[in-house]
Structure 1
Amino acid sequence: MTAAEGLPPLRAVIEAHGLAPKKSLGQNFLLDLNLTGRIARQALPLDRATVVEVGPGPGGLTRALLAEGAKKVVAIEKDPRCIAALEEIAAHHPGRLEIVSADALTIDLAALSGGQPVKIVANLPYNVGTQLLLNWLTSTAWPPVWESLTLMFQKEVAERIVAAPGTDHYGRLSVLAGWRSRAKILFDVSPSAFTPPPKVTSSIVQLVPRESPEPAALDKLEKVTAAAFGQRRKMLRQSLKSLGGEALLTSVGIDPQRRAETLSVSEFVRLANAV
């Protein structure tokens, strides 16, 4: 992060390795060192779990995680162009940075960490961020291997993750996140912090797993929320018609004339269990 650490500035690394961000990979490199340090500190302490970073790119956040005391960072990078830049950081921090050249969508976290606790800290690629979050939230084993998720999303996605019933952003993602975790937005990030600057503001979201979420069959909960929010302007008796409609709703004490955005997470769980 500083010249004293013997690592070149990130812009020099990008130039030396020809790392022009690729739109196809959803890449926006984070070069503001004050900001990467601030993100890393949100996940403290970092020395009691394996820290997993997805999409490190040239390694700005990677450097910050190591500087903030991470005992071990596993960096999962799909873009082979970035590996050499990450290897320079690994050489500077012997034994503390493991680089995995792979698509994070295919990674088994438990196998990666050997079953040890994990903290995921990442500036997620925009094009796969939501899917990665869903993968982590819908883990078969619960509590999951991850202790916390400290992640960057487009602000609009972040608002959907933390949205409460009755708000415009409340939807399927809000229900799944609220069912299995406690989620909050920590702070926003200006487009100017990135290279290239995206057209939207970003937000840092932190999720902590609930130890004992209300019991529900995941596939049924996903089916109910998909049907309900797929026609969110309609009354539930109509949007849930294929799953039982009015009879299903009255069986769990929910007014058939309500709309999806008014239901609490607990009410969606009751519906899923009744399907």
Structure 2
Amino acid sequence: MSSIDSLPPLREVIATHGLSARKSLGQNFLLDLNLTAKIARQAGDLPGMDVLEVGPGPGGLTRGLLAEGARRVLAVEKDARCLPALAEIAAAYPERLEVVEGDALEVDALARLSPPIAICANLPYNVGTELLVRWLTPDTWPPVWQTLTLMFQREVAERIVARPGSKAYGRLAVLAQWRCDVRIAMHLPPEAFTPPPKVSSAVVHLRALPEPRFEADPKVLERVVAAAFNQRRKMLRASLKGLAPDIETHLEAVGISPTERAERVSVEGFCALARRLG
């Protein structure tokens, strides 16, 4: 593992500051700086961008983002133990790293950045999905961010890119693919992390589209998709009956069989139904 900057290797940083990963915070640290730089490159043309990072930990990905030329990085970290290590990185990259201590679910971090903005993070496993849904469902579209480059458990990553008809296809796939181009950019084995998680991981790249692929009211679409996949083994006429008493009529009107199941309905189909119900 060669270094990407003049700072100490991450194992040394972790030992110096006593940064053992905490399961309660969903922490698994990436120590290979060449790997973190590779992840950073997936985020786009960093020299012209501000970047939001959530859960930097000892700063492996933070250093990758800065070494790859990010204009500015705003790192939100809940674990106060990591702040001294991050302060050392800030000193090595003057005026390019700002660290905010806090919970990413409560901090309005994007308001502190200037467009163009990328979000790039090895997300803590326990909040990753909730953060993704928030970023995919802002009040206005296009969002303030251009790209999301996010580490997830492989199972979650596969749900984001899943196609209709597959077992992984569900709410995350519809919300992501309605408004973004999505792809899995990298796969990472458990041994890439310290401590090694019990599952493999993957980096998902999402690029925001200028406008959604199909017209639909976001809040109506979210209600339809949530109801459909909340009881995914049921036929749609049963899982969606709470949305409208004559749901079968609405389904047939947009070309969806009332006996179909949610996992076989395309993003376009859900949007057509949302327009009808809206």
Q: What TM bracket, shorter-length normalisation?
A: over 0.9
> Could you say which residue in structure 1 is the equivalent of 2:56?
56
CA drift at 1:242: 1.4
Q: Is the 8 A contact 2:4 2:64 kept in 1?
A: no
**Alignment equivalent of 1:252, drawn from 251, 254, 265:** 254
CA drift at 1:225: 1.1
Query: Are the structure 2 counterparts of residues 264 and 13 from structure 1 closer, same or farther at C-alpha, using a change threshold of 3 Å?
Result: same
In the superposition, the TM-score normalised over structure 2's length comes to 0.94
Q: Is the 8 A contact 2:73 2:98 kept in 1?
A: yes
- For residue 207 of structure 2, what is the amino acid of its counterpart? V
Count residues with an aligned counterpart: 274
> Could you say which residue in structure 2 is the equivalent of 1:25?
25
In the superposition, the TM-score normalised over structure 1's length comes to 0.95
CA drift at 1:109: 4.2
CA drift at 1:72: 0.9
> Could you say which residue in structure 2 is the equivalent of 1:13?
13
2: CA distance, partners of 1:231 / 1:93: 50
Q: Is the 8 A contact 1:55 1:77 kept in 2?
A: yes
2: CA distance, partners of 1:200 / 1:110: 30
1: CA distance, partners of 2:233 / 2:111: 42
2: CA distance, partners of 1:43 / 1:56: 16
Q: Is the 8 A contact 1:120 1:150 kept in 2?
A: yes
- For residue 208 of structure 2, what is the amino acid of its counterpart? P
- Structure 1's consecutive aligned runs of 4 or more residues displaced over 3 angstroms after TM superposition are 1-6
CA drift at 1:153: 0.2
Give the secondary structure class of the aligned counterpart of 1:241.
coil
> Could you say which residue in structure 1 is the equivalent of 2:231?
231
- 1:165-176 alignment to 2 at 5 Å? 165-176=164-175
Unaligned runs of 5+ in 2: none
Query: Are the structure 2 counterparts of residues 236 and 5 from structure 1 closer, same or farther at C-alpha, using a change threshold of 3 Å?
Result: closer
Q: Is the 8 A contact 2:3 2:33 kept in 1?
A: no
Deviating more after overlay: 69-78 vs 84-93: 69-78
Q: In the TM superposition, what whole-angstrom CA distance separates every residue of 1:156-176 from its partner, at most 9, and x where no partner exists? A: 000000111111100011110
- 1:65-214 alignment to 2 at 5 Å? 65-114=65-114, 116-213=115-212, 214=214
CA drift at 1:5: 4.0
Give the secondary structure class of the aligned counterpart of 2:46.
coil
1: CA distance, partners of 2:177 / 2:260: 20
- Root-mean-square deviation (CA, aligned residues, Å) is 1.5
Q: Is the 8 A contact 1:109 1:145 kept in 2?
A: no
2: CA distance, partners of 1:241 / 1:4: 56
Paired-residue identity, %: 60
Query: Are the structure 2 counterparts of residues 5 and 187 from structure 1 closer, same or farther at C-alpha, using a change threshold of 3 Å?
Result: closer
Give the secondary structure class of the aligned counterpart of 1:64.
helix
CA drift at 1:252: 2.2
CA drift at 1:221: 1.2
CA drift at 1:4: 8.7
Deviating more after overlay: 245-254 vs 143-152: 245-254
- For residue 55 of structure 2, what is the amino acid of its counterpart? G
2: CA distance, partners of 1:47 / 1:38: 15
CA drift at 1:235: 1.5
- For residue 92 of structure 2, what is the amino acid of its counterpart? H
> Could you say which residue in structure 1 is the equivalent of 2:219?
219
Q: Is the 8 A contact 2:186 2:202 kept in 1?
A: yes
Q: Is the 8 A contact 2:151 2:204 kept in 1?
A: yes
Query: Are the structure 2 counterparts of residues 179 and 3 from structure 1 closer, same or farther at C-alpha, using a change threshold of 3 Å?
Result: closer
Q: In the TM superposition, what whole-angstrom CA distance separates every residue of 1:157-213 from its partner, at most 9, and x where no partner exists? A: 000001111111000111101111111001210110111000000001000011111
Deviating more after overlay: 82-91 vs 35-44: 35-44
Give the secondary structure class of the aligned counterpart of 1:148.
strand
> Could you say which residue in structure 1 is the equivalent of 2:264?
262
